Structure 1
Amino acid sequence: MAGFTGKDAVLTDYANKLATLDAPKGRSLTQDALYRLSRNKAAVLSIFILVLIVVVAFVGPYFVPWAYSQVDWSNIRKPPNFEAGHYLGTDQNGRDMLARVLQGTQMSLIVAFVATFVSVSIGVVYGAVAGYFGGRVDAIMMRIVDIMYALPYILFVIILVVMFGRNPVLLFVGIGAIEWLTMARIVRGQTLSIKEKEFVEAAKAGGAKPFTIILRHIVPNLTGPVVIYATLTIPEIIIAESFLSYLGLGVQEPQTSLGTLISAGAPVAEVMPWLLMAPAAVLVTLLFCLTYIGDGLRDALDPKDR
C-alpha cells in the first residue's frame, strides 16, 4: 500500500509540473502570413528597396544643394558635374536633375497611394453593398460598373482637366475614382461567398442592421484580397499618372513627376541621355518592387497555399 501511495505521489508531482509549464503558443493568421512573406526573398528585397526609395525621395531634397525649381544659369544642359553639385546633370532649363527626380518620385508616390486609397475605399464599400443585398440592387449596381468600364478613363480625365484645370489633387481623385471598378467586382464576388457564412447568419439573427453587418463582419474578412489587389493597383496608377503626364495632362511646372521627366527626356535621349535614364530607372525599379511585393502578399495570404 505504501508503494502504491508513493507512485501516486510521483504521478501527482509530475502532473503539477506539467500544469506549471506554458502551453505552446500557436501563430495567428497574421503572424503566419508575415512568416510566409518573410521567406519570400524577392518580396523582402523589394520591400527594402521600396522603403529606401520612399525615404530618399522625401528626405533627400533636404540634403541636395539645389532646389527642384532653382535654375543654374552657368550649367544648362550639362551632364553630371560633381564639382557644381549636379550629380545627375541639369535639364534644358538648368535645373538640377537629382532634385527634379526626387521631387518627381515624391509626386508619383503621392498620386499612387492617394489614388489607391480612394479606389479601395469606393470599391470595397460599393462591391460589399452590391454583393450583400444581391438581387435587383446587385444587378443595377453592376450594370453601372459595366457602363463605366466602357468609358475610356483618359476621356474622363480630360473632361476633369478642361473643367477644373490641372490640379494635382484633382488628378489624385480622378485616377482613384476610375480604378475602383475592378476592386468593386472583386469585393462583390468575395461578399457573395462570405454572406452565407455562419457568423453572418448569427449577426442577422441577433438583429444587426445590414450596413452594420457589412462594415463589422464582411469588410474585415476581405482584408486579404483587398490588400493584394491594392498592392497591384499602385503600379498601375503610377503608369496611368506617368502616361497622363507624358501627354501633358499631369502635374504642372515647376512641379514634376516621373512621367513628366520621362516625357521631357525622351525626345533628347540621344543627345542628353541623363535626362531620361534617371527617372526611367526609378520608375522601372518602383514598378518591379511593387509587383514582387504584390506577388509575395498573394502567396502569403492565399489560404490554398497554407
Structure 2
Amino acid sequence: MAGLTSRDAILTEYNQQLLNAPKGRSLAQDAVRRLVANKAAVFSIFLLVTILLVVFIAPYFLPWGYSQVDWANIRKPPNFEAGHFMGTDQNGRDMLARTMQGTQMSLVVAGVATLVSVVIGVSYGAIAGYFGGRIDAVMMRFVDIMYALPYILFVIILVVIFGRNPILLFVGIGCLEWLTMARIVRGQTLSLKEREFVEAARASGASPWSIIFRHIVPNLTGPVVIYATLTIPEIIITESFLSYLGLGVQEPQTSLGTLISQGSEVAVALPWMLLGPAVILVAMLIAFTYLGDGLRDALDPKDR
C-alpha cells in the first residue's frame, strides 16, 4: 500500500508539473508576436484598415455622389455648409466623394491584379522549380525574355487593343506582374522539393501535381504573402501612371491617378484638387511598404 501511495504521489506531482509547464508557441503565434512588436507595421495595418473602412462605407453617408454636379459650387474651396468638405472640381463635383471613389478603384485594381499575379506566378514558379531540367530552363528563359521587354509598353498595348475596360485593366496588369513572383517561388521550390516530407509523398505514390499543389505550395505562404504585400503599392503606382496618361479608368469613374492628373493641371488655382488624392496615395504606398517589411521580418524563418 505504501508503494502504491508513493507511486500515486509521484504521478500526481508529475501531472501537476505538466500542467504548470510553460506552453510553447506555434510558428504562426511567433510570427504574430513579431509583427505586433513592429510598431511601424501595426500602425500601417491600422491606417490601411481605416482607409478601407472609410472609402467603402463613408460614401453612403455623404450628401453628394462622385458624379453629381453642384451647379452653384463650381471650382469652390472646402465649404462645410454646402457639404463639400474637400471642395469641388472644375465641373462642380464633390472632391471628397470623388477621392473616395478613386481610392476604391485604385485598391480594387491593386487587389485583383495582385491576386492574378500571385496565382500565375506561384503556379508557374512551382512547376518550373519542381520539374527542373529542360522544363525549368525553357520556362525561366521565357521569364528572362519577358523581363527584357518594356513592361509599361505591354500594359499600354493591352489597354489600346482591348479598350479602357477596368476589368481588362485589372487582368492585364496582373498578367504582366507575375515575373518576379515566379522567380521567388521557383527558388523556394528548388529547396523544398528535396525536403523529407516531399520524399515521403513521392514514396507514397503521390503524383507530381499533387506534390506541387498540396505539399510545396502551402509551404510557400510566407514568401508569397510578403511579396504580394509589396506588389500592391507597385500596381497602385502603375495604375496611377496609366490614369495620369489618360489610359486608365475613364469618366464618370475615377482613380487616384486620374484625380492627381486633373489636380496637377490646376494646382495653383485649385490646390485642394491635388492635395487630397496625393496625400492618400502617398499614405497608402508608405503603409503597404512598412507592412511588407514587417511581414518579412515576422515570417522570415532565418530571423527566428
Offset of 1:267 from its aligned partner? 1.5
Q: Which residue of 2 aligns with 1:142?
A: 140
Offset of 1:73 from its aligned partner? 0.7
Which amino acid counterpart does residue 206 of structure 2 have in structure 1? A
**Counterpart pick for 1:15 among 11, 14, 29:** 11
| TM-score (structure 1 length as normaliser) | 0.96
- Which segments of 5 or more consecutive residues in structure 2 lack a partner in the other structure? none
Separation in structure 1 between the aligned mates of residue 49 and residue 153 of structure 2, nearest angstrom = 34
Residues matched between the structures, number: 302
Which amino acid counterpart does residue 220 of structure 1 have in structure 2? P
- Measured against aligned partners, the alpha-carbon deviations of 1:14-49 in whole angstroms (never above 9, x if no partner) come to 431432553543211111101110111110111011
Q: Which residue of 2 aligns with 1:56?
A: 54
Q: Which residue of 2 aligns with 1:183?
A: 181
- Measured against aligned partners, the alpha-carbon deviations of 1:128-151 in whole angstroms (never above 9, x if no partner) come to 000000010001001111111122
Which amino acid counterpart does residue 270 of structure 1 have in structure 2? V
Aligned pairs for 1:125-274 within 5 A: 125-274=123-272
Offset of 1:10 from its aligned partner? 4.9
SS of alignment partner, residue 94 of structure 1: coil
Are 1:111 and 2:109 counterparts? yes
- Which segments of 5 or more consecutive residues in structure 1 lack a partner in the other structure? none
Offset of 1:170 from its aligned partner? 0.4
Are 1:299 and 2:290 counterparts? no
SS of alignment partner, residue 176 of structure 2: helix
Separation in structure 1 between the aligned mates of residue 282 and residue 251 of structure 2, nearest angstrom = 23
Q: Which residue of 1 aligns with 2:279?
A: 281
- Measured against aligned partners, the alpha-carbon deviations of 1:225-281 in whole angstroms (never above 9, x if no partner) come to 000000000000000000010001100100000000000001211111100000000
Residue identity over aligned pairs, in percent, reads 75
| TM-score (structure 2 length as normaliser) | 0.96
Offset of 1:205 from its aligned partner? 1.0
Are 1:120 and 2:137 counterparts? no
Offset of 1:9 from its aligned partner? 3.3
Offset of 1:161 from its aligned partner? 1.9
Which amino acid counterpart does residue 259 of structure 1 have in structure 2? G
Separation in structure 2 between the aligned mates of residue 83 and residue 165 of structure 1, nearest angstrom = 41
| RMSD, aligned α-carbons | 1.4
Which amino acid counterpart does residue 128 of structure 2 have in structure 1? A
Separation in structure 1 between the aligned mates of residue 86 and residue 298 of structure 2, nearest angstrom = 39
**Counterpart pick for 2:32 among 31, 34, 39:** 34
Separation in structure 1 between the aligned mates of residue 99 and residue 264 of structure 2, nearest angstrom = 15
Query: Where do 4+ consecutive residues of structure 1 move more than 4 Å?
Result: none
Offset of 1:153 from its aligned partner? 2.0
Offset of 1:154 from its aligned partner? 2.1
